[in-house]
Amino acid sequence: MMYRHMEDCINDLEKHGHLIRVTEEVDPNLEMAAIHLKVYAAGGPALLFENVKGSKFRAVSNLFGTVERSKFIFRKTWDSVQSAVALRNDPIKAIKQPFKNVSTGLAGIKALPIKKKSKGPVQAQEIKLSDLPSIKHWPMDGGGFITLPQVYTEDPDKAGIMNSNLGMYRVQLDGNEYDSDKEVGLHYQIHRGIGVHQARATAKGEPLKVSIFIGGPPAHTLSAVMPLPEGLSEMTFAGLLAGRRFQYSYEDGYCISHDADFVITGDIYPGETKPEGPFGDHLGYYSLTHEFPVMKVHKVYAKEDAILPFTVVGRPPQEDTSFGAIIHEITGDAVKQEIPGVKEVHAVDDAGVHPLLFAIGSERYTPYADVKEPAELLTIANRILGTGQLSLAKFLFITAEQDKPVDTHHEAEFLAYILERLNLHRDLHFQTNTTIDTLDYSSKKLNSGSKVVIAAYGDKKRELCKEVPKELKGLQSFKNPCLVMPGVVAVEGPKFMDDETAEKEFKQFSDELQAKGAIDSCPMIIACDDSTFMSKNMSNFLWATFTRSNPSHDVHGVNSFYKNKHWACDNMIIDARIKPHHAPPLVEDEKVEHNVERFFAYGASLGDLGL
């Protein structure tokens, strides 16, 4: 069915066994998030919280908790949306097959936003910010947050809905220095469309008008996170995915989504910021308190019986993992169209998405050459690191298929394929003093860090060790070596003190290894605080290694040297120890965990889940 409102979706999910109503009173301070995390981890249903402590409004979570449920929600429009995005990615298809794509074109026309003269259902009542469920997710969070907002702005130089940006930037409702019921914090990172709009408004000396839509058809929520092809607006995509045109009007100069459950309108004034955060984020750590734009609230609207959707992020996988999978299925081969020569790019979810990319490219520059080595791959790598959100990556492992197929989603096999072919004197390419993800605290400075491209191609150069090499046993500097996967060994080091001490520690480590002889079978060594944890599974390895290391500072080497400003080594060492400037990892509150067990007891709303 086509959902006109959030309530339509909830009723449909419940009818088909995809949603459970939680009727007992639940505290939005940590309890709701704790319940969500347990149910998501068990692959459970969506949750409608009908009795939120301190608020008359209901809340729903885990709507997109599984790919299967997301596809169920969008089952009526899924095929037409994929076709429309494919045409945007490859418009020649429409010329070659005009009759086949007529329906797609009509669907696109029907999806265009429509301006209404009357007020929308969301304007049924004006409320205060404090009337909303203020959901606090993790113990150290700075306040309550809206985690599934649709933040709408228009280009100050070209007003109108077709020149708008719709993004999902978390909203802090209270806490810190915010003036209660009058201000909210907006946390948006670099490479975001709202930043362009604010820069233009600031250049004109004007405040930027902002509308925050919450709820409405699930298609509107998903549209706020879609990386869309050039020329396809989020508002058109929202209509296409919903199977119903996005309906809006203006009130006091602010855009109002008629189908939203809530709308918050306000202004961001030039140069005005306030401390925002901390917030337990999707890398598995807190993003800390920093100055971010503050929005002066104009009005807050709500439908009768409005429902607030939310999600909880933390160490992956979480619900946003399913978001990523859905986006990948919808956009299909978009990256191939945008970056010539690319066959596949995989942002590794277990590593927090942005810290680690795996990619497969092409090698067509010198097919006549006997010696195979990276060439076109380096050009492709630069294109990847210069493209949208991909530019936030720190570690990019890239190769090309040669003697067998390769799949970036089989992480251990893909990494082994690269390590077998890696020439450590040639294949490491660093970019220092550049931009990284705002949420990544592996560097000491916000938004700033480094990158390394690890590009390997050609004939297999080594057999990877399948047990810990004897040379890594019995060392004085780093101890307890554990095999992570073929070719990768984790070793425990002393507690990290500072960069200068680390340099000395790895010099000693290198000297010890050189005295024992070369260990070509182990091209990657991970220095860490707990090698047993690091080697327990691939998820631990990918998360701890790539979220806790900044390439320029934390990649060391056995027998490292420079030649013509190119850094090389015999064995790459990644220092993944916890460092003083790192943000703290997310840890549940034990008391809250105990308290929410009552919801899973016999006779409670969630008792039949067996958790």
Give mean pLDDT, residues 335-354.
Answer: 89
* List of E strands, 191-289: 208-214, 247-251, 254-257, 262-276, 279-280, 286-287
Q: Where are the chain's structural domains?
A: 6-73+111-315, 333-455, 470-575
Question: Are 216 and 256 in contact, with CB atoms under 8 Å apart?
Answer: no
Rounded mean pLDDT, 70-97: 69
Question: Angle 411-421/538-547 helices, nearest 10 degrees?
Answer: 60
Instruction: Average the pLDDT over 322-345 and give the result.
Output: 83
Backbone angles phi, psi at 199, to 5 degrees: -60, -40
Contacts of 563 (CB under 8 A, 6+ apart): none
Give the pLDDT confidence of 539-565 residue by residue, as tens digits: 999 999 999 999 999 999 999 999 999
Same fold, 333-455 and 470-575: yes
Q: Looking at residue 336, what is its pLDDT?
A: 77
Higher per-residue confidence, 368 vs 100: 368
pLDDT confidence of residue 188: 84
When pLDDT is averaged across residues 420-445 and rounded to a whole number, the result is: 94
- pLDDT bucket at 100, cuts 50 / 70 / 90: very low
Mean pLDDT of the chain: 91
pLDDT (tens digit per residue) in 128-169: 999 999 999 999 999 999 999 999 999 999 989 998 999 999
Mean pLDDT computed over 356-366:
91
CA–CA separation, 93 and 186 (whole Å): 40
* Number of C-beta neighbours around residue 392 at 10 A: 25
What does the DSSP 8-state code read for residue 283? Answer: T
Give the whole-angstrom CA distance, residue 565 versus residue 580.
30
CATH number, span 333-455:
3.40.1670.10
> Does domain 470-575 match CATH 1.20.950?
no
Instruction: Look at residue 90 and tell me whether its pLDDT is greater than 70.
Output: no
Note the pLDDT tens digit of each residue in 455-474.
999 999 999 999 999 999 99
The mean pLDDT of 192-196, rounded to a whole number, is: 81
Distances (CA, A) of 468 to 4, 314, 481, 514: 59, 32, 7, 16
Q: What is the mean pLDDT of residues 99-112?
A: 54
Confidence of residue 58 (pLDDT cuts 50, 70, 90): very high
Which CATH topology does 6-73+111-315 take?
A: Pnp Oxidase; Chain A (2.30.110)
Give pLDDT, residue 22. Answer: 95
Stated length of the chain: 611
Residue 94 to residue 101: CA distance in whole angstroms: 6
pLDDT tens for 369-417 read 776 889 999 999 999 999 888 899 999 999 999 878 999 999 999 999 9
pLDDT confidence band for 84 (50 / 70 / 90): confident
Band of residue 44 on the pLDDT scale cut at 50, 70, 90: very high
- Amino acid identity of residue 240, one-letter, is L
